[in-house]
Amino acid sequence: MAELRALVAVKRVIDFAVKIRVKPDKTGVVTDGVKHSMNPFCEIAVEEAVRLKEKKLVKEVIAVSCGPSQCQETLRTALAMGADRGIHVEVPAAEAERLGPLQVARVLAKLAEKEKVGLVLLGKQAIDDDCNQTGQMTAGFLDWPQGTFASQLTLEGDKVKVEREVDGGLETVRLKMPAVVTADLRLNEPRKPRRRRSRCSRPGTWAWT
Amino acid sequence: MASLLRATATWGHFPWRGYCSRIKQGKLGEDFVQALRAVVGSPHVSTAAAVLQQHGHDESMHRCQPPDAVVWPQNVEQVSRLAALCYGHGVPIIPFGTGTGLEGGVCAVQGGVCFNLTHMDRILALNPEDFSVVVEPGVTRKALNTHLRGTGLWFPVDPGADASLCGMAATGASGTNAVRYGTIRDNVLNLEVVLPGGQLLHTAGRGRHYRKSAAGYNLTGLFVGSEGTLGLITAATLRLHPAPEATVAATCAFPSVQAAVDSTVHILQAAVPVARIEFLDEVMMDACIRYSKLDCSVAPTLFLEFHGSQQALVEQVQRTEEITQANGAFHFSWAKEAEERSQLWAARHNAWYAALALRPGCKGYATDVCVPISRLPEILVQTKEDLKASGLTGTIVGHVGDGNFHCILLVDPEDTEELGRLEAFACQLGRRALALHGTCTGEHGIGLGKRQLLQEEVGAVGIETMRQLKAMLDPRGLMNPGKVL
């Protein structure tokens, strides 16, 4: 399992602490000049991937984000938390408004195959749209097993044991890898990213597609 | 809400010497209230009884003394105009932040207008490369750290409550991290203060956020800890620190209080840069174990936290383990993952509620003395003996790294005899600390209840100097009357 690579998808959203204001023309919410940060569930996914790497169960953690150029900030946060590489799938700002789970899932599926990863980790949902679809759709496109709403994740040989939080309580599933897992709140408590500017020679390469 | 209304009728007040009773019982004139409305707008002025009650007390045992009106200024210009208005009419001014104080600092002993500053809640300027940030009074400690979480910086002063940062500056707050990162006094670079007459003062100069200076008198230091008696703090420039790379929390049980405190002294003398070192006595541990369902032994315990790089942590933990074992410690355990650490520290932070749960229906009072570390074993042992002698129910929890500890005493607010014993105990403890070259309050402030002890602590010349400063800045004595002096 030291050959296992993990792909973590992170989304840039309006910071959870910001008071959302509707635009005067009612076409959406105000995003200009508003603080954005990584989706909290994506932070949990990154933290889990980094912990697996620290336990030497995963060889490389690749973070990916789809959207306008500001997504690089979100990727930098993922790198500061311990991810090895960041991939920014650049989507111009005008089109980014119409970017939804279906499109992102297609991108993630393609990247997962291209990067030959064994585990795709995502947050269970984004706090701006609450869709809770991207992970499931990605698994669908890849035809990989999925363990969603994970509150515990354990690697067992070539399988991943996922304890899921479901309406009736907890459910445990064993998935044969490669697999897709989406992170729920109680999976872990993410670390604060290290001060990025003082990092000297971390291999933070960028790939534009 | 019902308990608040009941509180005014049933809580006896502390017969501390020098305690001010309400001098002016009258309400404010209608045209004065209209003038307040003209400055901030009708929605931001209230004279409703429930609102006044809410603003007349904090988290302490001092009885609720509501103001005559509450205003919510939206910006510093309004604060300035309101202050000038009140001062001109001889109406007392009481600043209010989150109401989480522990010494009755917001009780309106002479009535007046309460300035609730929480609507001013912007983070005005963040300078990550300079490690500084400017915040308004409505920004709380947790809100700031949440805002900073992506920058690799944090604000370490952690008094437990999610208090307003400007309020923390006003009361000279400290917390569990002070042993390594300092108290609020060491972390305030500049303050924007509205003086009683309405003038705006920048204690270190407008917009300045240098790390050090030798320019003129230290006005910032004057206002930190002034508890709203010299002016209203409307913005604070704070020093930020780099967030630690890794953190490890540890607990360690000891056979005796002496052993635990000796260990603390040795750990500090060995220059281990411990970030938090907290002491809980066996009564407190028993309460915490029951309340938070911890898996620990009922014995005097140290809770420690270490910050640093991975290698540094290994060394720090190893050193500490050696020292504690040399002092007879048993059961040294540590937690690395964030969830386990949170659980451990939540149990420590819930100490207050755990103590209250020991005697349901009672109110809590926390003493706050601070002595030189070398005298800590002595005073802790003495305090435990005094506790037994007085027959009060109390637990001890403390920031032993600073020589500061809290005795959480549980009393029935209806039992005047017990309240009397509480007052005697607290006074005696304060005097013991003073006798050991310490202070009667390490972090909670003087507020209403410790004014006599302040006089004994700083002496006649000290008090006279403070009175002269107060008279110079607030000649009419309208800024938060009845507190500190």
Which pLDDT belongs to residue B344?
79
pLDDT band at A33, cuts 50/70/90?
confident
Check CB contact of A38 with chain B, cutoff 8 Å: yes
User: Which of B310, B336, B358 marks a domain boundary?
Assistant: B358
| Helix, strand, or coil (residue B149) | coil
ipTM: 0.71
Asked if residue B174 and residue B131 are part of one domain, the reply reads yes
Which pLDDT belongs to residue A124?
97
| pLDDT score of B6 more than 50 | no
| pLDDT score of A203 more than 60 | no
Check CB contact of A26 with chain B, cutoff 8 Å: no
Q: Do B149 and A17 touch (CB under 8 A)?
A: no
Q: Can you tell me the mean pLDDT for B59-70?
A: 92
Q: Do A189 and B339 touch (CB under 8 A)?
A: yes
Cβ-based neighbour number of residue B330 at 10 Å: 12
- Average model confidence (pLDDT) across chain B: 90
Candidates B131, B133, B142, B151: best to mutate against A (most CBs of A within 10 A) is B151
- Average model confidence (pLDDT) across chain A: 90
Asked if residue B128 and residue B236 are part of one domain, the reply reads yes
Q: How far apart are the CA of A20 and the nearest CA of chain B, in angstroms? A: 15
Q: Which residue has the higher pLDDT, B459 or B261?
A: B459
Q: Which residue has the higher pLDDT, B71 or B348?
A: B71
Q: What residues 107-166 of chain B have any CB closer than 8 A to a CB of chain A?
A: 129, 143, 146-147, 149-154
CA distance B385 to B396: 12
* Minimum CA–CA partner of A73 in chain B: B150
A109-151: per-residue pLDDT in tens? 999 999 999 999 999 999 999 999 999 999 999 999 999 999 9
User: Cα dist. A37→A12, A100, B436 in Å?
Assistant: 6, 18, 50
Which pLDDT belongs to residue B10?
34
Q: Can you tell me the mean pLDDT for B167-175?
A: 95
pLDDT band at A107, cuts 50/70/90?
very high
B392 falls within a domain: yes
Instruction: Please report, for the domain that includes residue B74, its CATH number.
Output: 3.30.43.10
User: Cα dist. B180→B176, B274, B316 in Å?
Assistant: 9, 7, 14
B230-282: per-residue pLDDT in tens? 999 999 999 999 999 889 999 999 998 889 988 998 999 999 999 999 999 99
Which pLDDT belongs to residue B59?
87
User: Cα dist. B26→B29, B45, B482 in Å?
Assistant: 9, 18, 17
Instruction: Please report, for the domain that includes residue B400, its CATH number.
Output: 3.30.70.2740
Asked if residue B269 and residue B290 are part of one domain, the reply reads yes
* Minimum CA–CA partner of B129 in chain A: A197
CA distance B64 to B94: 14
Q: Do A193 and B152 touch (CB under 8 A)?
A: yes
State which fold the A5-207 domain adopts: Rossmann fold (3.40.50)
| pLDDT score of A165 more than 90 | yes
Which pLDDT belongs to residue A104?
97
pLDDT band at A196, cuts 50/70/90?
low
Q: Do A35 and B147 touch (CB under 8 A)?
A: yes
Asked if residue B201 and residue B150 are part of one domain, the reply reads yes
Which pLDDT belongs to residue A150?
97
Asked if residue B426 and residue B331 are part of one domain, the reply reads no
| pLDDT score of B172 more than 50 | yes
Asked if residue B364 and residue B321 are part of one domain, the reply reads no
Asked if residue B270 and residue B310 are part of one domain, the reply reads yes
Q: How far apart are the CA of A120 and the nearest CA of chain B, in angstroms? A: 23
Which pLDDT belongs to residue A192?
80
In chain B, what percentage of residues exceed pLDDT 90? 74
B201-217: per-residue pLDDT in tens? 999 999 999 888 999 99
- Structural domains in chain B (count): 4
| pLDDT score of A199 more than 70 | no
Check CB contact of A39 with chain B, cutoff 8 Å: no
Which of the 8 DSSP states describes residue B164?
Answer: B
Instruction: Please report, for the domain that includes residue B204, its CATH number.
Output: 3.30.465.10
Asked if residue B373 and residue B312 are part of one domain, the reply reads no
What's the domain range around B415? 360-455
Asked if residue B220 and residue B203 are part of one domain, the reply reads yes
Which pLDDT belongs to residue B332?
83
Strand B274-280 and strand B301-308: pairing?
Answer: antiparallel
pLDDT band at A2, cuts 50/70/90?
low
Backbone angles phi, psi at B195, to 5 degrees: -75, 160
Q: Can you tell me the mean pLDDT for B271-298?
A: 90
Q: What residues 323-382 of chain B have any CB closer than 8 A to a CB of chain A?
A: 337-339, 342
Which pLDDT belongs to residue A182?
97
Which pLDDT belongs to residue A195?
60
Q: How far apart are the CA of B246 and the nearest CA of chain A, in angstroms? A: 9
User: Which of B321, B341, B358 marks a domain boundary?
Assistant: B358
Which pLDDT belongs to residue A8?
98
Q: Which of B20-24, B113-117, B175-179, B287-291 has the lowest mean pLDDT?
A: B20-24
Q: How far apart are the CA of A24 and the nearest CA of chain B, in angstroms? A: 22
- Bridge partners, residue A86, by sequence: A63, A206
Asked if residue B347 and residue B253 are part of one domain, the reply reads yes
Asked if residue B251 and residue B225 are part of one domain, the reply reads no
Report residue B305 as tokens. 């936290």
Nearest to B149 among A192, A196, A198 (CB): A192
Asked if residue B370 and residue B352 are part of one domain, the reply reads no
User: Which of B201, B218, B242 marks a domain boundary?
Assistant: B242
Which of the 8 DSSP states describes residue B28?
Answer: P
Question: C-alpha dihedral over B129, B131, B135, B137, to 10 degrees?
Answer: 170
CA distance B178 to B240: 14
Closest CA to A83 of A6, A20, A175, A144: A6
Which pLDDT belongs to residue B235?
97
B383-437: per-residue pLDDT in tens? 989 999 999 999 999 899 999 999 999 998 888 999 999 999 999 999 999 999 9
**Which residues in chain B touch residue A196, judged by CB atoms under 8 angstroms apart?**
152
Nearest to B338 among A77, A191, A193 (CB): A191
Q: What residues 223-282 of chain B have any CB closer than 8 A to a CB of chain A?
A: 242-243, 245
A134 is in an annotated binding site: yes
Which pLDDT belongs to residue B26?
55
CA atoms within 13 A on the CB side of A174: 5
CA distance A206 to B127: 27
User: Cα dist. B217→B223, B248, B480 in Å?
Assistant: 12, 41, 24
B318-341: per-residue pLDDT in tens? 999 999 999 999 888 888 888 888
In chain A, what percentage of residues exceed pLDDT 70? 92
Which pLDDT belongs to residue A193?
80
Q: Can you tell me the mean pLDDT for B14-26?
A: 38
B462 falls within a domain: no
**Which residues in chain A touch residue B146, judged by CB atoms under 8 angstroms apart?**
17
Which pLDDT belongs to residue B163?
95
User: Cα dist. A34→A13, A29, A37, B10, B184 in Å?
Assistant: 10, 10, 10, 49, 29
**Which residues in chain B touch residue A188, judged by CB atoms under 8 angstroms apart?**
337-339
